[in-house]
Chains A and B, each alone.
Chain A
Amino acid sequence: MKEEEKIQPKNPMEEFLRMDRIPHIWCPGCGIGTVVTSFAEALRKSELDLDKVAVVSGIGCTGRVAGYIKLDSFHTTHGRAIPFATGLKLANPDLKVVVFSGDGDIVGIGGNHFIHAARRNMDIVVILVNNFNYAMTGGQVAATTPISANASTAPYGNYEYPFNLPYLAEAAGATYVARWTALHLRRVTKSIQEALAKRGFSFIEVITPCVTLYARRNRLGDGLNLLKYYHDLSEIQHGADTRTLDISYQGKLIVGKFVDKEKPTFLDAMNEHLSKVLGDKYQAYGVSHD
């Protein structure tokens, strides 16, 4: 072994990362990298053909994920990762399409697309990294900021009700819904694995520390302090009623897998319906006719 190889051992995730783009832009203590690690691990375990997995991100800190993942990867516009993924999936149904983006991107500016993709049971996996604020732009209040938490555009504390995302996802029609924190590395990996193996709209929320903005502004300490909060106040309740999953400021975090059901996907429903109505005139779309 050459000397430099000894000094710089290979990154164990090298297979999944664009090493020519590392170091990444995320802050020390940020949780996004942890979720990326879980994603890479889930891919490894999934045994999927990686040539057929595509990642679509929107804009924001988590929006940068697409740029680091060594798969077909698209860094799109703010809020539009899900409709982009919808087009990609429908054009090439062989693909496993993963949307990897933040709370502001997916349920703030892109909220409408989120509920409609869930309603249609579009066969995509949505990994939403929830850091409770708009971090890329400097810590503004978000649709996920807990009440009373401070943000740069909520300097007196937030008074808007935040979304309960698992409830929203389930109500809109998602067939797989889970929530974890960045502390639950193994569980996040397992959920992503399950979602990758599933057909239908899968949604995984991962609560992550934003040390530079959310934690600093709220004097919550560093990354370790936030992980300790997750450790002390998160509670695994698989199958919990999603109506009970509101998050209060530094309050209890109910995590787990809440929904895992089967339902025809958009394409399944389309093929089934059109075959029934049109008969021989219709050839099922996106399935091999060889």
Chain B
Amino acid sequence: MTLWISVAAMVLAVALGAVLALARVYGPAPLSALALGYVELFRGTPLLLQLIVVYYGLPELGLKLSPMVAGWLALGLNYAAAEAENDRAGLLAVPRTQMDAARVLGLGRWQAIRHVVGPQALRVALPPVTNDFIALLKDSSLVSVVTVTELTKTYGTLAAATRAHLGLGLLVGAIYLLLGLPFARLSRFVERRLGEHLEVSR
């Protein structure tokens, strides 16, 4: 449960984050402001509050979500703000003149982003994205407040029943670590592959 909801939320966060970052860096002023507003709102308020609003608050507007969907949505929307900031840092790390060079060759704005600026930005944005995934994995324990039974919730129930808080706690901690480690390894591998020829900078 923990892993599923985390992966699904991260997919949403990465996709929405990329859109937000593009809107902020390349969008027209109103769109850029809107994206900034989104980031400030979701970064500046507690995830727990967002979770409760999505699950218990939205039904007041007639939108009733299942606990899983509410947890997924709140985690994804919250982390999208963080991913947007990562992607934005990546986009800004690529010199503006790279965009100019691409445009002069006849590439459209979108083509230049997709084929020239984007791939270089990705390399910068990737390490913090992995960091965030591991943070999300841990934050997914918060979805227990909307009645999703994930790892930490299961631990709480089991520990209360067996009174083995310490032993089970260590075990559950180890499970979180094991869930996160493969992604950390994967990230370092991809980073190396992307960066092979970029080590010597201009």
A and B: interacting chains:
no
Chain A positions near chain B (C-beta within 8 angstroms): none
